[in-house]
Amino acid sequence: MKDRRPVRPLLLPTIFLLLILPALPSAVWAGGPLVPIGAGQFLSWDPSQPVNFVIDNGVMRPGNQFNPTISRDEGAQFVRDTIQRWVDVQSATVTLDDRGFLPEDITAANYATISPPNRSLQGNPVIFDADGSIIEMVAGAGSSGSVVGFASPVIADLNDTFYDYALTVLNGRLADLTPNGLFQRTILHEFGHFLGLDHSQIGLPESAPDFAPSFCGSQFANRDAQPIMFPLAFSGSIQLRQDDVAWISFLYPTADFDQRFGRIDGRVSRRTGGPFPGANVIAVPVTVNEGTITESRSGLVSVVTDFLLSNTGSYQLPGLPGGDYAVYIERLCPDFIQGSSVGPYDFRFTDFPRDYYNGANESGDGALDNRTEKTVLAVRAGETISEINLISNETINQLETLQDDDEEIFVFAEGFTFPFYGRRYQEVVVNSDGGLTFITGDGFTGPRDEMRLLSGPPRIAPLLTDLDPSEAGLVRAETSADSIQFVWDGVPEWSPTGGRPPNTFSVTLNRNGNISFSYATIDILPDMGSGFGVVGLSPGRLTSGTSSDLSSLQAPIRFFDTAVYQSFTTAPDFDLVGSTLQFAPTGVNFFLYFPLLLGDEANFTGFALTNDEDAENLLQIDAFGSDGLQLPFPTNPNLSRLQSHRQLARLGTDLFGVDRRVMRDGWVRIGVSRPQVASFYQLGNGLTGTISQLDGSVAFTEQGQVLYFTRLHDGAGSFPALDGPQDATTLLALANPNEMAISLRLRLFDADGQELAEAVRQLPSLGCLREGLASLFGQASVEGGFVRVEVDGPGAVGFELVQLADTLLGFNASFGNASDTTSYSAQLANGTAGGLAIFTSTKVVNTSGETRQVTLTALDEAGQVLGVFGPVALGSNQSLEGDAGTMFGLGPASGPATAGSLRVEADGPGVIGDVVFGDPSRLRFGAALPLQTRRLQRAIFSQVANAQTGNANFSTFTGLAFHNPDFVLIANITIRVFNSDGVETGSSTLDLGPGQRRSFTLVERIPATGGQAGGYILVESNVPVVAQQLFGNFALTFLSAVPPTVFQ
């Protein structure tokens, strides 16, 4: 079994929850050629180990007057011979470890001894349910008359991608040793599942005249091509087909698999450009003779797009013997869902014809793309032909062509977008059955009920019921500058005999997100045993909801993150005829901006929020990419609620439902319905080991038109340290929170105030930039100075990351300190204590247009002056950077330890700066904070991490530092700690005299918080003070400093 990932103690416990519960499989039993669990991963047996099996020690079938006995050995040999076909695949490493026989005959009486969780100690059992009693036990009396058998591989460890136990039950009552018989095909098919394969669809006709679309079991099927893993079984040869060979080899490849075969890769898009998950892609061998392309009846290989849940429409067709191929897409059989599913998408778009890849002529427009035109691909062993991209041929906006159970994409007019449950759409799918859906259509036969409304795609349903515009009436759209109205005009309910009365109703989408339904005439019957119809809105992919009496709700009916609907169970209940329903989204009017979202398999961005309001807060959490579009993550935006005085802490992967192996690169905006929300975010590594890099800040709540990045180290040896200059890079991250594009002028100044270089960048609306200094300014090395960013537009937000080999220093951009003349740091440490050395580097920048006289004063814990540096004259754009030990005469970092605070005074506004502190040798740990000008009387630190374990790497501390800058007053400070549910876990008071400073770990001050993981700290003071929070582990592989969110 794969090594288990150690369960780490938690620095940010709720953030790290994902590490313990990753990738819970979500697909039902189904999924193309294999079982995906997201982000390119799938379940299989450990390829480095043989898959063992152990056979029942009883007869396969007892004899009776009609059938002779099938002995244990006959049955076992039949099973071995059958499953050997998977082993015999030369390009797959499937090996079986035949462990002989179980010690006893397994029957219903002793079955529990080998079933999960008891398991068979001997291996994965293959049970001969000789009399069918086991099947009858679990599936009911009489079930052995129809259930032939089942295989059920399971994983015991959800961290794992390997199966670790499987159970196969074969029903002796239906056993039949006829070669190539259905029983043998069943065994081979079930062992395909046992090994991790799932169904494939190959060999179906494009349609079967008069029988379409139920072409799944058609007599016109090409049985020569249909693989063993086809969802229906027919008698005939049970030889593995190329598709079976390709995919078992994909799961368990030999070292030379990629050399023996070729591969075709590509993507499939919808006509409108979006990814197309759930299309069947087939490579068919062809021969070309004098321009005529002839398809082979065998050797086909297929896959379902996005079979690895990549959400890109991608596919790959491995295991192709060298030769010429054509590639086409086709719809999946609508009957192949649930237990017989092909691919992981039971809801899939199907309204497109079979369409061959034809190179540059590919188009989604059937008028431009001859879908039968084939581009022949010459596949060679050992080579991959990439970028074979197809576009499904679809009509758009032709609502008059809607048939029964049909759907049609409707692309909005240029410039019109419609916001719905946090996402903004440029198109909608109009479904015959009385509604609109987003992302994917819904034109299929099935219950038009509450569950369909809840669990399907995002939906606006003026009347979800079985309507048939092909019989009479029309679905049409009427557009204006600010709205679009879709009208079902005289459309009757479907009926096999026709003649149902017309129904007329409409839905109007307004540009501002408001929606209205109007009903003129309605006359329909209950639909498919599931009621009369459903009216309402749903964000989709829900598992539950509550039906409401919509006509009794106050208009407009508000919606945010849950479905709002009414399920009408009987016709007399339908009380909407002649009325209009108005819906309006509940807005999030206040925004928090996090300028950088980063992440990959090892690195994360985590977010924490505390709702300081006395009421629930609605949250809309969006992640945007550099182009300003919402990143294609499953739960982006994340719509949720945060109860009063509770805290939420999540990894970005968790918030957006994305696997950690999927790259995250963008920025995050969190909209809240009430403004009093504290925030916190951290970037770091540690998803695959001990955290060695971590730092962060709080969110911006406003934008700046001029931003400053004060700490610059970029290039080889650009960061000074006792062990010698360290290599460093500095990344600048900027985000544009506006509805309009902005232009950025970035200017690099050296310490003397000389402008060295300039860069200009454009940021689209909601777009972002992440770029290193070298790329921006073309400088081989930068050490010191600062970057000024001038925004042409309403503003921007920014964050900088200085990355060293073992440390990450990160803090928010400054807006320039337009009014204050004094700034502070509650943390100033220098020297060695207990064998631990620490340094502090201070940096000040004069951003004003005039020379400033700047004085830096180091104070001890009692508020006594330790040293003064200055006054020094800093010209406009000049900066000063130095080691505190040297500047204030505190001695080297190897000397006696000093701790205190820093005060920076200037004779006018515009002086900003930062402090960096940490390990002086090579910055094994370190943290950075901007100098603080905003003093607090009420503030929140939005995370607590006091994990206690026996391992110093995973035991963490939370520290606080306070400084009272007042020259007269004593600060009475109250520190209250709460868990994430808002329950107070401890408190303390602290009196700080004028100029005094204190720092401590939270546990030291409030022992009850020992072990607390999650929650927040509320700080209140009668006198404005300066404070900061520090996180680290006891091994000090990292340190992170974060300012508070100041409310007063």
Tokens of 907: 């004779």
Q: How far apart are CA 72 and CA 58, in angstroms?
A: 5
**Stretch of 107-115, 634-642, 936-944, 1033-1041 lying at the interface with another protein (CB under 8 A):** 107-115
Choose, by CB under 8 A, the member of 87, 96, 182, 1035 that binds another protein. 182
Distances (CA, A) of 1044 to 642, 679, 869, 937: 19, 8, 28, 11
As measured in angstroms, the least distance from the Cβ of 221 to another protein is: 8
Which of the 8 DSSP states describes residue 319?
E
Choose, by CB under 8 A, the member of 49, 90, 235, 743 that binds another protein. 235
Tell me, by CB under 8 A, how many residues bind another protein. 92
Nearer to another protein, 223 or 558 (CB): 223
Of 110-169, binders to another protein (CB under 8 A) are 111-112, 115-118, 136-143, 145-155, 163
Nearer to another protein, 199 or 660 (CB): 199
Q: Binding marks (x or -) toward another protein, 18..57, rule CB under 8 A? A: -------xxxxxxx---x-x-----x--------------
Nearer to another protein, 452 or 646 (CB): 452
Asked if 318 and 251 count as a contact pair (C-beta separation under 8 A), the reply is no
Q: Binding marks (x or -) toward another protein, 531..550, rule CB under 8 A? A: x-------------------
Which of the 8 DSSP states describes residue 626?
T
Nearer to another protein, 418 or 574 (CB): 574
Nearer to another protein, 250 or 708 (CB): 250
As measured in angstroms, the least distance from the Cβ of 383 to another protein is: 32
Choose, by CB under 8 A, the member of 177, 208, 472, 1035 that binds another protein. 208
As measured in angstroms, the least distance from the Cβ of 237 to another protein is: 12
Choose, by CB under 8 A, the member of 369, 407, 427, 527 that binds another protein. 527
Of 555-584, binders to another protein (CB under 8 A) are 567, 569
Q: Which residue has the tokens 């698999």?
A: 257
Nearer to another protein, 172 or 696 (CB): 172
Nearer to another protein, 374 or 448 (CB): 448
What H or E segment, with its residue span, contains residue 590?
Answer: strand 590-599
Which letter, b or e, does each residue of 783-814 get, where b requires 16 or more Cβ atoms within 10 Å of its Cβ?
bbbbbbbebebebbbbbbbbbbebbbbbbbbb
Nearer to another protein, 403 or 765 (CB): 403
Interior CA angle at 1029 toward 796 and 705, to 5°?
Answer: 15
Choose, by CB under 8 A, the member of 49, 84, 214, 294 that binds another protein. 214
Please state the separation of Cα 731 from the chain's center in Å: 24
Q: Binding marks (x or -) toward another protein, 766..805, rule CB under 8 A? A: ----------------------------------------
Secondary structure class of 16 (helix, strand, coil): helix
Nearer to another protein, 450 or 612 (CB): 450
Of 404-423, binders to another protein (CB under 8 A) are 404-405
Nearer to another protein, 193 or 770 (CB): 193
As measured in angstroms, the least distance from the Cβ of 772 to another protein is: 42
Choose, by CB under 8 A, the member of 211, 590, 1000, 1047 that binds another protein. 211
Asked if 323 and 284 count as a contact pair (C-beta separation under 8 A), the reply is no
Q: Shortest CA distance to 574 belongs to which of 636, 510, 524?
A: 524
Of 321-380, binders to another protein (CB under 8 A) are 334-335, 338-341
Main-chain phi, psi angles of 618, to 5 degrees = -90, 135
Nearer to another protein, 187 or 826 (CB): 187
Choose, by CB under 8 A, the member of 8, 189, 270, 1005 that binds another protein. 189
Q: How far apart are CA 506 and CA 399, in angstroms?
A: 14
Its sign, for the CA torsion 101, 102, 104, 110, is: negative
As measured in angstroms, the least distance from the Cβ of 183 to another protein is: 9
Choose, by CB under 8 A, the member of 234, 386, 627, 775 that binds another protein. 234
Nearer to another protein, 125 or 715 (CB): 125
Nearer to another protein, 334 or 871 (CB): 334
Nearer to another protein, 432 or 814 (CB): 432
Q: What does the H/E/C string look like for 740-788?
A: CCEEEEEEEECCCCCEEEEEEEEECCCCEEEEEHHHHHCCCCEECCEEE
Tokens of 586: 């509940």
Nearer to another protein, 143 or 781 (CB): 143
Of 920-939, binders to another protein (CB under 8 A) are none
As measured in angstroms, the least distance from the Cβ of 1014 to another protein is: 29
Distances (CA, A) of 842 to 103, 729, 806, 904: 75, 19, 20, 10
Q: How far apart are CA 432 and CA 817, in angstroms?
A: 59
Q: Which residues, 6+ apart, have CB-to-CB distance to 6 below 8 Å?
A: none
Which letter, b or e, does each residue of 851-885 get, where b requires 16 or more Cβ atoms within 10 Å of its Cβ?
ebebebbbbbbebeebbebbeeebeebbbbbebbb
As measured in angstroms, the least distance from the Cβ of 141 to another protein is: 3
As measured in angstroms, the least distance from the Cβ of 117 to another protein is: 6
Tokens of 385: 């032909």
Nearer to another protein, 32 or 918 (CB): 32
Q: How far apart are CA 208 and CA 965, in angstroms?
A: 84
Choose, by CB under 8 A, the member of 209, 529, 834, 849 that binds another protein. 529
As measured in angstroms, the least distance from the Cβ of 499 to another protein is: 7
Q: How many residues does the chain have?
A: 1048
**Stretch of 212-220, 250-258, 274-282, 667-675 lying at the interface with another protein (CB under 8 A):** 212-220
Nearer to another protein, 324 or 404 (CB): 404
Of 969-988, binders to another protein (CB under 8 A) are none
As measured in angstroms, the least distance from the Cβ of 184 to another protein is: 11
Choose, by CB under 8 A, the member of 1, 288, 525, 577 that binds another protein. 525
Of 447-466, binders to another protein (CB under 8 A) are 447, 449-451
Distances (CA, A) of 971 to 229, 756, 905, 939, 994: 74, 45, 21, 14, 8
**Stretch of 123-131, 228-236, 623-631, 658-666 lying at the interface with another protein (CB under 8 A):** 228-236
Residue 239 lies near another protein (rule: CB under 8 A): no
Q: Which residue has the tokens 């100029």?
A: 995
Q: For the chain, state the CA radius of gyration.
A: 33
Choose, by CB under 8 A, the member of 47, 50, 205, 217 that binds another protein. 217
Asked if 315 and 328 count as a contact pair (C-beta separation under 8 A), the reply is no
Of 474-513, binders to another protein (CB under 8 A) are 494-497, 499-500
Which of the 8 DSSP states describes residue 589?
-
Is 489 exposed, middle or buried, given 0-12, 13-18 or 19+ CB atoms closer than 10 A?
Answer: middle
Tokens of 723: 């062990």
As measured in angstroms, the least distance from the Cβ of 239 to another protein is: 16
Asked if 777 and 706 count as a contact pair (C-beta separation under 8 A), the reply is no
Q: How far apart are CA 535 and CA 566, in angstroms?
A: 5
Distances (CA, A) of 503 to 2, 22, 402, 497, 989: 59, 48, 16, 17, 70
